[in-house]
RNA sequence: GGAGGGAUGACUGAGCGGCCGAAAGUGCUCGCCUGCUAAGCGAGUAGGGGGUUUUAAGCCUCCUCGAGGGUUCAAAUCCCUCUCCCUCCGCCA
């Protein structure tokens, strides 16, 4: 959630919001709602002051004086009761409007939309020729993925991951998790079913509600990323300054309905309803989040670079940022069968946007402040496998295991099957 | 799933209709004392919103004692619902 006061007072803040996609007039509606709320708040508080004073007097009066004083207090109580529902309504109106406002884009974020991201660097060379098989075909041939049975059992976009591919998955997890632990991240396997308030506070509701699987009988929701339960780990917390930064490496299965993507990426496991992912989640002091974002980006690059995949880093344009992100880097890896770069990981700085809803604060020298939160993909397994299947496919149809994973798989190649 | 007990500030813990935003202790901050350290002495120390001033501080005020509702002139305190924790029984990987 945004800071309404800063919206009112800081032109820069407002400009940052307007660089994103915002409904016309929304910001002025927020300010008007805030004005209306404050005006009423003054009146209600004045009445409450008088009511509190009247009640207090009763306690100190003699029995004779009481009836008259109680009558006065009762009158004030009734007056207040008539006004309070309006205040509650104005609070709700302000909140509903404020929740629709995205976090301002940072000044270092380029203007524009999907095609206007700034490519910061290109690392590694795309291969000169595409491999003979795309990832989906190779995976079926080697017995890594069974999409047909997946669809039968659970519907389209579900797949069985099988055989040596599973060992490669666990090798990825082991390798990446080891690096994250070395970087000071605390490993966490969080709950993947959460209550509604967790979804709300993590910023996924109401905006992305249609992307989330819902278990109505139990009033629980399946998480689309471990960021959701990780954020709940410090909700309503007032942290000591020396407790920061907090770094979590969350491993979880993720569930996404992928509504609105019919017909896109239907082959293989590029886009599936269920996948495992290692996610980085950091909580920092307000003046340290930009540094942390670079740190997370560097870790992501070292993972993708360590796997030998050619990639590029993009500073996503304002209009293409999600609501909570002030700045986001995407790392896109070359996908040979499509002859273009496709997103593999990303990392975002939310600043205090998410912390404001979560009420995660830090006790500083001068008072308390909302912390900053950041997240970044360490390894989205199934999509990483897609790139590995294509880049490590050999001319004879076999699959070579990346060097860094071999200590964990115990084998260096998977032979082609006839 | 069944039966009880509980949730209070950074932490432990008292309060059980008005004198309570809340004893006491711990921790923390400042000062004193002290070869150093430890101990000791004194003072301070919840969060959030609004107003005023507008650098800040200060001052006024409202809300918050797990969450939400209710009773009352007045609720940490009484009632209801929910969530969580603990103990016992059952079941279970």
For A387-415, what is each residue's pLDDT tens digit? 999 999 999 999 999 999 999 999 999 99
In the prediction, which pLDDT does A215 show? 87
In the prediction, which pLDDT does A238 show? 86
A225 touches strand B (CB under 7 A): no
Backbone angles phi, psi at A329, to 5 degrees: -105, 135
Nucleotide nearest to A73 (CA to C1'): B73
pLDDT digits (tens, 9 = 90+) for A320-351: 999 999 999 999 999 999 999 999 999 999 99
Residues of chain A scoring pLDDT < 50: none
- Token pair 């927020």 is at which residue? A30
Residues of A carrying an active site annotation = 256, 271, 343, 346, 383
On whether the CB atoms of residues A307 and A392 are closer than 8 A, the answer is: no
A363 touches strand B (CB under 7 A): yes
A220 CA → B33 C1’, Å: 60
A14 touches strand B (CB under 7 A): no
Strands (E), A167-325: 186-188, 193-194, 214-215, 220-222, 238-240, 246-255, 274-284, 311-315
CA A157 vs CA A25, A163, A201, A300: distances in Å: 39, 19, 28, 26
A324 CA → B81 C1’, Å: 34
Percent of chain A with pLDDT over 90: 76
DSSP annotation of A202 reads T
DSSP annotation of A170 reads H
Cα A79 to Cα A325: distance, rounded to the nearest angstrom = 44
A406 CA → B32 C1’, Å: 66
Question: Which candidate, A45, A303, A21, places its Cα nearest to that of A173?
Answer: A303
Give the relative orientation of helices A289-306 and A164-182 as an angle to the nearest 10 degrees. 140
A100 touches strand B (CB under 7 A): no
- Token pair 């990780």 is at which residue? A230
Bridge partners, A222 (sequence order): A193
Nucleotide nearest to A34 (CA to C1'): B50
Nucleotide nearest to A57 (CA to C1'): B18
Question: Which candidate, A133, A383, A136, places its Cα nearest to that of A266?
Answer: A136
Cα A187 to Cα A173: distance, rounded to the nearest angstrom = 11
- Token pair 């071999």 is at which residue? A406
Cα A69 to Cα A60: distance, rounded to the nearest angstrom = 11
In the prediction, which pLDDT does A101 show? 92
DSSP codes joined into one string, A69-128: HHHHHHHHHHHHHHHHHHHHHHHHHHHHHHHTSPPPPPTTSPSSSGGGPEEEEEES---S
A366 CA → B29 C1’, Å: 13
Question: Which candidate, A345, A278, A277, places its Cα nearest to that of A314?
Answer: A345
Whether the pTM exceeds 0.90: the reply is yes
On whether the CB atoms of residues A317 and A109 are closer than 8 A, the answer is: yes
On whether the CB atoms of residues A40 and A87 are closer than 8 A, the answer is: yes
Nucleotide nearest to A71 (CA to C1'): B73
A223 CA → B80 C1’, Å: 33
In the prediction, which pLDDT does A311 show? 97
A312 CA → B17 C1’, Å: 68
Nucleotide nearest to A54 (CA to C1'): B73
In the prediction, which pLDDT does A418 show? 64
Q: Which two tokens stand for residue A186?
A: 């605390």
- Helical (H) or strand (E) element with A402: none
Residues 57-86 in A having a C-beta less than 7 A from any atom of strand B are 58-60, 70, 73-74, 77
On whether the CB atoms of residues A186 and A178 are closer than 8 A, the answer is: no
Is the link from the previous residue into A245 a cis peptide, with omega within 30 of 0?
A: yes
Bridge partners, A280 (sequence order): A249, A376
A241 CA → B45 C1’, Å: 17
A48 touches strand B (CB under 7 A): yes
Q: Which two tokens stand for residue A29?
A: 């509606």
Strand B bases with any atom < 7 A from protein Cβ: 10, 18-19, 47-51, 57, 61-63, 73-74
Nucleotide nearest to A236 (CA to C1'): B47
On whether the CB atoms of residues A125 and A311 are closer than 8 A, the answer is: no
In the prediction, which pLDDT does A26 show? 94
Residues 177-206 in A having a C-beta less than 7 A from any atom of strand B are none
């Amino acid at each position: 959630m945004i800071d309404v006061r800063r919206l009112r007072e800081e032109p820069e803040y407002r400009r940052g919001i307007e660089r994103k996609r915002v409904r016309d007039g929304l910001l002025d509606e927020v300010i008007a709602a805030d004005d209306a709320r404050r005006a009423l708040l003054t009146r209600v508080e004045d009445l409450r002051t008088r009511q509190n004073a009247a009640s207090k007097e009763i306690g100190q009066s003699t029995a004779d004086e009481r009836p008259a004083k109680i009558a006065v207090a009762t009158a004030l109580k009734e007056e207040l009761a008539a006004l309070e529902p309006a205040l509650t309504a104005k609070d709700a109106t302000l909140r509903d409007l404020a929740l629709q406002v995205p976090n301002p884009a940072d000044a270092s974020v380029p203007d524009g939309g999907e095609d206007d991201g700034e490519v910061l660097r290109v690392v590694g060379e795309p291969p000169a020729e595409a491999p003979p098989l795309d990832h989906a075909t190779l995976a079926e041939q080697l017995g890594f993925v069974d999409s047909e049975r997946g669809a039968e059992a659970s519907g389209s976009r579900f797949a069985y991951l099988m055989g040596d591919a599973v060992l490669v998955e666990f090798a990825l997890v082991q390798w990446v998790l080891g690096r994250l632990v070395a970087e000071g991240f605390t490993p966490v396997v969080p709950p993947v079913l959460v209550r509604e308030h967790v979804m709300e506070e993590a910023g996924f509701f109401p905006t992305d509600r249609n992307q989330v699987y819902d278990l109505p009988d139990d009033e629980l929701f399946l998480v689309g990323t471990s960021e959701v339960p990780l954020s709940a780990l410090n909700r309503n917390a007032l942290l000591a300054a020396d407790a920061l930064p907090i770094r979590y490496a969350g491993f979880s299965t993720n569930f996404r309905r992928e509504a609105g993507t019919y017909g896109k990426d239907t082959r293989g496991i590029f886009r599936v309803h269920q996948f495992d992912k290692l996610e980085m989640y950091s909580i920092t002091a307000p003046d340290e989040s930009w540094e942390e974002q670079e740190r997370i980006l560097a870790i992501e690059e070292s993972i993708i670079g360590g796997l030998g995949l050619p990639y590029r880093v993009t500073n996503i344009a304002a209009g293409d940022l999600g609501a909570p992100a002030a700045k986001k880097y995407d790392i896109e890896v070359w996908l040979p069968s499509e002859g273009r770069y496709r997103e593999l990981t990303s990392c975002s700085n939310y600043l205090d946007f998410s912390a404001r809803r979560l009420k995660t604060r830090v006790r500083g020298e001068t008072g308390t402040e909302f912390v900053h939160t950041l997240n970044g993909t360490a390894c989205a397994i199934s999509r990483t496998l897609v790139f590995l299947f294509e880049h490590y496919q050999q001319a004879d149809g076999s699959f070579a295991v990346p060097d860094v994973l071999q200590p964990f798989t115990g084998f260096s190649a998977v032979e082609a099957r006839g």
